[in-house]
A = this chain, B = another copy of it.
Amino acid sequence: MALPKLQIALDNGVLSEALASISQVGDEVDVIEAGTILCLAEGMEAVRCLRALYPEKTILADTKCADAGGTVAKNCADAGANWMTVICCATIPTMQAALKEVQDLQVELYGDWTFELAAEWKQAGLTQVVYHQSRDALLAGETWGEKDLAKIRRLVEMGFKVSVTGGLEVETLPLFAGIDVFTFIAGRGIRDAADPRQAARKFKAEIARIWG
């Protein structure tokens, strides 16, 4: 089982705040995500700035693209993103059009997606999915549980690289022990820590402890 990667989600509403966050942890993480909030607030300039500062890192544009996949993906790639996200209710043609323009594509799992649909994504050439606790669902009191872990295991068994996100803390990681998680995506769990660099290192250390 490979060591899961650590991804920082920059869901800041202002570019300068995203840069303040990343300047503290950019060297510690494996994947830098321009979050949906940031992309919608600042546009692809946010991705261009992240690429300028971190020429060697994997950068993900979390567009949650639902349509016009080719155009959105080309704009992301032109700005310097390696990967982008599409929403699970996008059509297969949208996903395929996007996949042509970026190095890799992640399907974001929200709402009532099905494993039948996931099989279609697999057949269409998609390799990555992101399993979520929605930010708003978390606010409404939902938490990680066995029902989530069972779905994640099944997606891994289908051959997907599965990233996991939503209210993740260092203390949440042991829940996923024994599951071949591709990437843990943390946002405020790192950004809002008193010492974000230290928080990122704690995530990495706990990942190494459990999966190493």
Contacts and interface: CB of A to CB of B under 8 A. Distances in A.
B93 A110 contact: no
A180 interface: no
Number of identical protomers: 2
Interface in A67-90: 67-72, 75, 87-90
Contacts of A70: 136
B135 A111 contact: no
A63 interface: yes
Interface residues of A, number: 45
Given A41-B75, A89-B89, A93-B134, 18 more contacts: A11-B71, A36-B68, A40-B72, A64-B66, A66-B66, A66-B87, A67-B132, A67-B134, A67-B135, A67-B136, A68-B136, A70-B136, A90-B111, A91-B134, A93-B136, A94-B137, A97-B139, A112-B114
Contacts of A164: none
A37 B110 contact: no
B11 A68 contact: yes
A117 interface: yes
Interface string A36-54: 1101111111100000000
Contacts of A65: 36, 40
